Structure 1
Amino acid sequence: MTKVLGLISNTMDGMIVISVATLLILVVPELVLRIVHDSLANWFYSIWVSFRLRKFLIKQADHEGEGTFKLQQHNKAIRKSIIDVREKKITYIVKLPNGVQAQKLILETKEILREEISSCFPDYTFSNYERYKHWMRIEGTKIR
């Protein structure tokens, strides 16, 4: 029994080391780029605003009989959206789902989303939405 527990413990230790190494490989380059070219505070602000916008855009089922599948597709796409705050530029990217109805839900919220982002960042002016394949993007540049 001790041999089996020791083997499980060693395997778990190896998995932890691999997980930490993967995390460092993915995060450290972004941290270095942010420190050199931008501010580390903007990176944390990007993460915070991304979560806030996701929470704002998540749709709940209503009593009008909206399909739960299209709401699930919409919410899955919103959970993958990100906002990148830099010193002079802001970019918001959302992946459009494959379903037409779920895409329609996201496209209906474009103006509401634009107003929400504009109210969060009054020092920036935002372009129109640009669509590239299954991604929709809006960019803002600092005006002050």
Structure 2
Amino acid sequence: MKKTYLIKTFNLIQNLFALFAFEVIANLLLRLLNYIIEKESAATFTLFLQVEKISISLSSWLNLAETFTFTLLAIFLAIGVFVKAKDDSIWNIFKSIWQTYHFRHFMVQSERTEKTIEMQKVQSINLIYNNFNKAVRKCVIDVSTNKIIIFIKVPNSQQSQKILKEMESQIREETSSRNPDYFFSAPDRIKNSMWFIGTKR
């Protein structure tokens, strides 16, 4: 099964958005620090002047990083919009995003379990669910007019794969209920990925 452009770039664009947001916030905090130092009379001390110099330098580097990240985002998004507009509908991009995040929420298992040790409740992380969640958080749904493609990354561990196998019927039921105009076939496992294909009725 060949990945579509949206499936190839969805997680990359998501990470670029997160990186860009971090860079913007960090830059704003540095500018606030510079403003505070300039306003304080203590800024005449050598230590404060050095801090101001470092923060100004970091801020300039962050400006460059912001520009680079934003440019990459704009390029990937522009190509994605062009591909959808050419072969399908731009509106389906928003449907794909909404369904992807809803599906991830549906797939994620609760990692924390409570155990009672010496009359005290202690929370621990279930490593099997943790491994499973890392994989399913990368799943992507690509909605188009005639077809829906669901890409699920298969977890590494055998126990996590067993959970995914047991959820196959639930996945088909969930996706079918949200897309009643599509018929979903049985999943197709190819190497470390699982695919569900929905075709227009």
Q: Hey, what does 1:69 align to over in structure 2?
A: 127
- Work out which of the residue numbers 11, 14, 26 in structure 1 matches 2:64: 14
> What is the root-mean-square deviation of aligned Cα atoms in Å?
1.9
What TM-score do the two structures reach when normalised by structure 1?
0.91
Contact 2:150 2:197 in 1 (8 A): yes
Q: Residues 67 and 13 from structure 1, CA distance in 2 versus in 1: closer, same or farther, beyond 3 angstroms?
A: closer
Q: Which of these residues, 151, 156, 170, is aligned with residue 98 of structure 1?
A: 156
Q: Matches of 2:180 and 2:194 in 1, distance apart?
A: 21
- 2:102 counterpart of 1:44: no
Q: Per-residue deviation at 1:5?
A: 3.4
Q: Which SS does the other structure have where 2:86 is aligned?
A: helix
Aligned to 2:167: 109
1:91 aligns to what SS in structure 2? strand
Which residue among 66, 70, 83 is the counterpart of 1:33?
A: 83
Match of 1:84 in 2: 142
**Secondary structure of the corresponding residue to residue 16 of structure 1:** helix
Structure 1 or 2, whichever has the larger Rg, is 2
Corresponding position: 1:55 with 2:105: yes
- Larger mean CA deviation between 41-50 and 55-64 belongs to 55-64
In structure 1, runs of 5+ residues without a counterpart are: none
* Structure 1 residues 8 and 139: CA distance shift in structure 2, 3 A: same
Q: Percent sequence identity over matched residues?
A: 32
Unaligned 5+ residue runs, structure 2?
Answer: 1-48, 116-123
Matched position secondary structure for 1:7: helix
Distance of 1:111 and 1:4 partners within structure 2: 57
How big is each residue's C-alpha offset from its partner over 1:36-57, in whole Å with a ceiling of 9 and x where there is no partner? 2211111101110111111111
Secondary structure in 2 matching 1:113? helix
**d(CA) in 1 for partners of 2:91 and 2:185?**
24
Aligned residues between the structures: 142
Q: Which amino acid aligns with 1:115?
A: E
Q: Answer whether contact 2:113 2:126 (CA < 8 A) is retained.
A: no
Q: Distance in 2 between the 1:103 and 1:4 partners?
A: 49
